[in-house]
Homo-oligomer: A and B are copies of this chain.
């Protein structure tokens, strides 16, 4: 993607960089927490529940970044008549997310 993406902006999610980093640091802590649970031989259902929380957290951050992408990059692309390509790329991401 390199050359093409180089031109693309990322300013949308950058307005909320700190909030995103905070969520990701919390997620990192959750992953380390599960490691500890496994080392301590904790009950498997509690481990699964914790892993489900991590998965949901990753999905939520992904959605947040995606919203910024749509409001920023995709919107710009549409205004500059590059919408078709941008939407095709967006649909690839969405189809992975929507397990369709």
Contact = CB atoms under 8 A, between A and B. Distances in A.
Interface residues of A, number: 66
Please report whether the interface of chain A is mostly helix, strand, loop or mixed according to DSSP.
Answer: helix
A12 to B, nearest CB: 7
Nearest to A90: B70
A39 B21 contact: yes
A59 B10 contact: no
A28 B21 CA distance: 14
Interface string A17-41: 1001100110110011011001101
Nearest to A63: B100
Contacts of A35: 21, 24-25, 28
Contacts of A32: 28
Given A27-B54, A59-B99, A94-B94, 8 more contacts: A1-B46, A10-B43, A48-B69, A49-B96, A52-B97, A54-B58, A63-B95, A63-B98
